[in-house]
């Protein structure tokens, strides 16, 4: 895992972003905590596993349909898998962190109603990001120093729809 310090990637609000073992960080490498490094290393393992799934599916499709164009699936399939997990968390209840309500008060302006609705939607997106199986595995195990040594392959699959261990609970 290689860490690159810069002020552009990741976006504001995030401390680090991992792309196949290349970690972009807003925090210099020498001041990054061991917990954050372990969290990002977990994401590296997850991404290699997803890339393996994508490569296997692409090769199968390439052989079935006799076209090398299906090898582009190696680039697309990992994003589809991640987005599927994200949207699954966004759509399925329980909506545990949505403390805002749709209770509009009579006489409220359209701007106030829009701001309330925007708060509800943005909180749902944040919860879906934190509760997807990839982030849940990384967050729940980033304090365990032995986790990466004892981690089983495709451990993130066990965190799909595991509602009792949601981070935002």
* Residue 93 pLDDT > 70: no
pLDDT at 164: 58
- Closest by alpha carbon to 141, among 64, 37, 53? 37
What CA–CA distance (Å, rounded) separates 92 from 80?
18
28-37, 64-73, 115-124: segment of lowest average pLDDT: 115-124
Q: What is the CA radius of gyration of the chain?
A: 19
Strand order, beta sheet including 2-5: 2-5, 22-25, 16-19
Tell whether the model's pLDDT for residue 114 goes beyond 90: no
- The answer, yes or no, to whether residue 102 has pLDDT greater than 60, is no
pLDDT score, position 106: 61
17, 36 contact by CB (below 8 A): no
Q: Which two tokens stand for residue 107?
A: 């006489």
pLDDT at 103: 55
d(CA 46, CA 87): 18
């Amino acid at each position: 895992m290689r860490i690159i310090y810069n002020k552009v990637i990741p976006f504001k609000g995030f401390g680090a972003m991992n792309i196949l073992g290349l970690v972009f960080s807003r925090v210099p490498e020498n001041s990054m905590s061991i917990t954050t490094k372990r969290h990002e290393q977990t994401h590296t393992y997850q991404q290699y596993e997803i890339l393996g799934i994508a490569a296997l599916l692409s090769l199968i499709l390439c052989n079935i349909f006799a076209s090398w164009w299906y090898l582009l699936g190696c680039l697309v399939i990992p994003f589809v898998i991640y987005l599927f997990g994200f949207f699954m968390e966004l759509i399925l209840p329980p909506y545990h962190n949505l403390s805002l309500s749709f209770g509009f008060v009579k006489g409220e302006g359209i701007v106030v109603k829009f701001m309330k609705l925007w708060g509800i939607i943005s909180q749902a997106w944040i919860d879906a990001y934190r509760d997807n199986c990839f982030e849940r595995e990384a967050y729940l195990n980033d304090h365990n120093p032995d986790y990466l040594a004892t981690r089983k392959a495709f451990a993130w699959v066990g965190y799909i729809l595991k509602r009792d261990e949601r981070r935002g609970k």
